[in-house]
Chain A
Amino acid sequence: MFAAIVKFHSIFLLILTAPALFAEPANVDQARSAQKSLVRVSSTTQSPDYSIPWNPGSTSGGRGAGFVIDGNRIMTNAHVVSDARFIAVDREGDPKQYTARVEHVAHDCDLAVLRLEDESFFEGMEALEFGGIPELESTVSAYGYPIGGDRMSVTQGVVSRIDFQPYSHSGIDSHLTIQIDAAINPGNSGGPVMQDGKVVGVAFQGFRGDVAQNTGYMIPVPVVERFLTDIKSGEYNRYVELAISTFNLTNPAMRTALGLENDDLGIMVGSVYSGGSSDGVLESGDVLMAIDGLPIFSDGFVVLDGQRIEMPEVVERKFVGDKVTFDILRDGERKQVSAELQNGWMFASQANAYDEKPRYVIFGGLVFQPVSSNFLAANRVNDLRLQYLFQQFVTEEVYVEHPELIVLSNILADPVNSFLTEFQHAIVDEVNDQKIRTLEDLAAAFEKDTEYHVIRTLGDTRPLVLATRDVEAARERILSRYSIPSESNLTK
């Protein structure tokens, strides 16, 4: 996948562009307007190292594409500018490099909007307009700066498939996606995919050539427009989540037992996650018959704008604070319920995080960090309990008791902690008889004036005991010995 464009720079993908691309006059116009809008985005990134959370991280670079949209803005993929420390933008036929900054970034749908310091860049440039969802098998053209040369590249293909796909940038989000068979390669990321002179998608990910061929993916207009609408408020408020699990009702006995007719309508609610949008509105075992008046088929689809599409797409187009209404069947009774939508905060730790500093607390040479997708990617953890609790963090509602799972991630060897190696990768449950729900709780607990700090971890181990005076004596020694600029970072 393209999520890390940087990694793909070393891989040669020998895919040639389609011949006779400029044969049709219509495409000539389209290519000209694309040329007047397309930009190359080069970013220098610095990604933190979650195994050494106090380090600023090592730098690397990546290159992608972008295009001008209304309001002197540039649209690109979030993964092109994630963790960027410096972003340079250039355009066809202009040797100058322009400095850009990220105005809004949506890691949950891999989109970003950039602003330029020097708006003279936009002179002679044209903002592209957005079209709709292209028809299956209709032809589209992808513009960008993929590997294989320096100048703008055009590839052409047809729309192969329209459905929900995971977005690899965050790792946990799925949205509407359009698959095309035009060559989409590293460097295409963020570039426009056009049809009839309008943008119908933003190229963003594909498979490596050894996995599948001729499968490129673009972010379709509904997702792009949702992002542009969301940021009108001045900040990006992210996608909303129903925070439920559902089960398709194709089994005839299940349908009859739930009091349904043989009409292929309705899906069942499995779990309703505490604290989520549907908590108190939906119940496990409810049958969802319709969403905002659209009948829900027993395979989880609805018909929206004439297209058969997964039911969540209805929710996808909504914003924080919007309502969603369900016709439900509960205990044989039909009723209507509605929920106010909010973010799925309980899923946050399972998503890849960007543009954040790792949070940590060091106490007595013990490094404590919240468990997250980034943390696990950087630290090799074989601990079954930790793996299980992270995997089931939402489904078993681990987050209710521990909104953050705080793990003793590392031990910076020092006399104060010589006998504590058995606790590496243990999860903190209580400190000084106080439940630890977040890293802030932990930092506060260590502030307590006490002779001994007593840390209880999950599992049948002895308490971890640190004598406050020993910790105090070791404090400066550990920081200087391990070149640690700060004992903690609690801000993202």
Chain B
Amino acid sequence: MKFHAFFTVVSLLLTPLAAISAETEAVFDATDSIVRVNVSTQAYDFLRPWNKQAPQTRRAIGAVLERGRVLVSAELVANHTYVELEHPTTTARTPAKVLIADYSANLALVAPDDPDFLKSFTPLSLAEGVKVGDRLTVWQLEPNGTLLTTDALMTSVQISPYPMGDIALLMYSLTSALQGRDGSFTIPLIKDSTLAGIVIRHDTRTQNMNAIPVDVIRTFLENFDAGNYSGFPRVGITFSSTRDPQFRRFVGLDPDNGGVYVADVIKNGAGYKAGIQKGDVILSIDGSTIDQDGNYTDPQYGKLSLANLSSMRGKVGEALDFTLLREGEKLTLPVTLQDMPLSSYVSPPYLIDEAPRFIVTGGLVFQELSRQYLREWGGSWEESASRKLVYYDRFQNSLFPDMDRKIVFLSGVLPTPSSIGLGDLGGLVVTEVNGEQIRKLEDLRAALDKDGIEFHEIRFEDDPKIIFLSAEEAEATNRSMTTVYGLPALQNL
């Protein structure tokens, strides 16, 4: 988001520098490997789940790949209503469709409706052997279509959280005096005319830049080509450093070796199914020795967190050997990798390209908790949204270990004849309606639709604990919601 703001604001202030265009023309003639991607987006309004927000447009530079595909960040195409490709020099345009968007890995593939559109382009191949200290190049486009290149020094590689999902993957950090240009929502990072990454964030003040590495891109493409795309795997464990000598003695680790302590195992995760337990010490994964901080030595990038092994060393369905120390005994467990589909979350980290689920009855608005809903409270949503709902979202794995439910809550009340005296209620977690446990919105629908109910009895975890709603009056109110509040529908399941 910071990235977006920078490119839209600063681009108005800066005028293209002629000197740079002249220089770049001498160095590269690579505009036939990149293409402008123009996207109209319209996000859903999670506070008024029957509404969409105002449309926006974003412009980015996509990397043309083999087989007529264009690589961009998933953020670019989130909630897209229209995508088009634009030739950098001729400005010829064609509608395009999104082949796949993995919002956790923040990568998407776009293809033109007209298969001939990219015929004159030279596809970029994926870079090999990128390492810390490399001098890479960022490709942008001037308004007139000429290439603007900027140097970028690769300063570090680490495992860091990606903007939308809740997965941490490999990420490049670079330093670059990148300039603002229109249409630079995401831009390619280049090593010797091959694709080294996708720049997703740049801070004008510190000149720090983040890019999704080629390794993540390669895995993403392989997963897509394999068909039936299943995101990046994870093991589902939380680990702690074992540097503390008192702790090492207590657990029975000798002072010199490595290994990290398994602090928690998510129920039904890959690690759990393989038999990893709380208190185990992980000594190595797939032959790579794990040190006391949970790092291994990557042949290409040096020290990286073991999380990179589980997300990149194998694909979903493949197994990695974990060598553990349990009560003084060494044992090796094959861990069959699995991903964590969005549907398996109690409170999904994002909901994109799909309308929020809700039920409105008698003016009472019920929704399912998601981080997307909480994000409606803005940049500091963790402070400003309901503390209870934020807490439920953050600690969902330990609060609801079976992860077989959603959190249905009364998000707000539209004043109607049925909801007199209830107008102040909001953020209340629903437990039971008409005697039925509520674990997802469908349960609520079924409970409300039960025959012979005179008063709906709705129970909450929170005060006032219980309310009643006249079924007949709610029906009458529901019929008027379209005309009174302009609701296009009373539910979306």
Q: Do A and B come from one complex?
A: yes
B465 and A285 form a contact (CB under 8 A)? yes
A461 and B263 form a contact (CB under 8 A)? yes
State how many angstroms separate the Cβ of B422 from the closest Cβ of chain A. Answer: 6
B244 and A419 form a contact (CB under 8 A)? yes
If A257-B468, A395-B463 touch, does A460 touch B246 (CB 8 Å cutoff)?
Answer: no
- B446-484: CB near A (< 8 Å → 1, else 0) gives 000000001101000011111111100100000000000
A250 to B467, CA, bound (A): 12
If A250-B420, A253-B418 touch, does A462 touch B455 (CB 8 Å cutoff)?
Answer: no
Q: What B residues does A388 contact at CB under 8 A? A: 387-388, 390-391
Q: What A residues does B436 contact at CB under 8 A? A: none
- A359-395: CB near B (< 8 Å → 1, else 0) gives 0000000000000000000000000110110011001
Tell me the number of A-to-B contacts counted with CB atoms below 8 Å: 100
- A290-308: CB near B (< 8 Å → 1, else 0) gives 0000000000000000000
Q: Which of A385, A463, A467 makes the CB contact (< 8 A) with B391?
A: A385
A254 CB within 8 Å of chain B: yes
Q: Which of B244, B394, B418 makes the CB contact (< 8 A) with A384?
A: B394
B238 CB within 8 Å of chain A: yes
A231 CB within 8 Å of chain B: no
Q: Which of A284, A392, A465 makes the CB contact (< 8 A) with B466?
A: A284
A247 and B264 form a contact (CB under 8 A)? no
Residue on B nearest A254 in the bound complex, by CB: B468
Q: What A residues does B238 contact at CB under 8 A? A: 460
If A459-B398, A460-B263, A465-B247 touch, does A249 touch B388 (CB 8 Å cutoff)?
Answer: no
A270 and B465 form a contact (CB under 8 A)? yes
Q: What A residues does B390 contact at CB under 8 A? A: 384, 388
| Contacts of A230-282 to chain B: CB distance below 8 A | 245, 247-254, 256-258, 268, 270-271
A253 and B468 form a contact (CB under 8 A)? yes
Q: What B residues does A422 contact at CB under 8 A? A: 240-241
Q: What A residues does B395 contact at CB under 8 A? A: 385, 459
Q: What B residues does A254 contact at CB under 8 A? A: 421, 467-468
A271 and B246 form a contact (CB under 8 A)? no
Which residue of B244, B250, B418, B462 has the most chain A CB atoms within 10 A of its CB atom? Answer: B244
B373 CB within 8 Å of chain A: no
- B376-390: CB near A (< 8 Å → 1, else 0) gives 000000100001101
Residue on B nearest A252 in the bound complex, by CB: B420
B261 CB within 8 Å of chain A: yes
B464 and A268 form a contact (CB under 8 A)? yes
A452 CB within 8 Å of chain B: yes
Residue on B nearest A253 in the bound complex, by CB: B470
A419 and B241 form a contact (CB under 8 A)? yes
A419 and B250 form a contact (CB under 8 A)? no
State how many angstroms separate the Cβ of A158 from the closest Cβ of chain B. Answer: 32
A58 CB within 8 Å of chain B: no
Q: What A residues does B467 contact at CB under 8 A? A: 251, 254
Q: What A residues does B382 contact at CB under 8 A? A: 384
Residue on B nearest A469 in the bound complex, by CB: B246
A443 CB within 8 Å of chain B: no
A258 and B468 form a contact (CB under 8 A)? yes
B243 CB within 8 Å of chain A: yes
Q: What B residues does A247 contact at CB under 8 A? A: 463-464
If A257-B455, A460-B238 touch, does A284 touch B465 (CB 8 Å cutoff)?
Answer: yes
If A467-B250, A470-B246 touch, does A461 touch B240 (CB 8 Å cutoff)?
Answer: yes
Interface size on A, residues (CB 8 A): 40
B463 and A245 form a contact (CB under 8 A)? yes
Closest 6 CB pairs of A and B: A460-B264, A257-B468, A419-B244, A247-B464, A250-B421, A253-B470
| Contacts of B229-279 to chain A: CB distance below 8 A | 238, 240-241, 243-247, 249-250, 261, 263-264
Q: What B residues does A385 contact at CB under 8 A? A: 391, 395
State how many angstroms separate the Cβ of A333 from the closest Cβ of chain B. Answer: 17
A351 CB within 8 Å of chain B: no
A462 to B251, CA, bound (A): 11
A245 and B398 form a contact (CB under 8 A)? no
| Contacts of A45-81 to chain B: CB distance below 8 A | none
Q: What A residues does B462 contact at CB under 8 A? A: 395
A285 to B244, CA, bound (A): 52
If A284-B466, A462-B240, A466-B246 touch, does A387 touch B387 (CB 8 Å cutoff)?
Answer: yes
Q: What B residues does A466 contact at CB under 8 A? A: 246
A467 to B248, CA, bound (A): 11
- A452-476: CB near B (< 8 Å → 1, else 0) gives 1010000111110111001000000
| Contacts of B419-439 to chain A: CB distance below 8 A | 419-422
Residue on A nearest B418 in the bound complex, by CB: A253
Residue on A nearest B261 in the bound complex, by CB: A462
A418 CB within 8 Å of chain B: yes
Residue on B nearest A250 in the bound complex, by CB: B421
A28 CB within 8 Å of chain B: no
A420 and B421 form a contact (CB under 8 A)? no
A253 to B455, CA, bound (A): 7
Q: What A residues does B422 contact at CB under 8 A? A: 251
| Contacts of B3-59 to chain A: CB distance below 8 A | none
Q: Which of B249, B465, B468, B473 makes the CB contact (< 8 A) with A271?
A: B465
A284 to B460, CA, bound (A): 12
Q: What A residues does B245 contact at CB under 8 A? A: 419
Residue on A nearest B249 in the bound complex, by CB: A467
If A253-B469, A460-B263, A460-B264 touch, does A391 touch B421 (CB 8 Å cutoff)?
Answer: no
A268 to B455, CA, bound (A): 17
What are 8 inter-chain pairs, A to B, with CB distance below 8 A?
A251-B468, A253-B470, A384-B390, A392-B387, A460-B263, A463-B247, A465-B247, A470-B246
State how many angstroms separate the Cβ of A62 from the closest Cβ of chain B. Answer: 33
B391 and A251 form a contact (CB under 8 A)? no
- A395-430: CB near B (< 8 Å → 1, else 0) gives 100000000000000000000101110100000000
A465 and B455 form a contact (CB under 8 A)? no
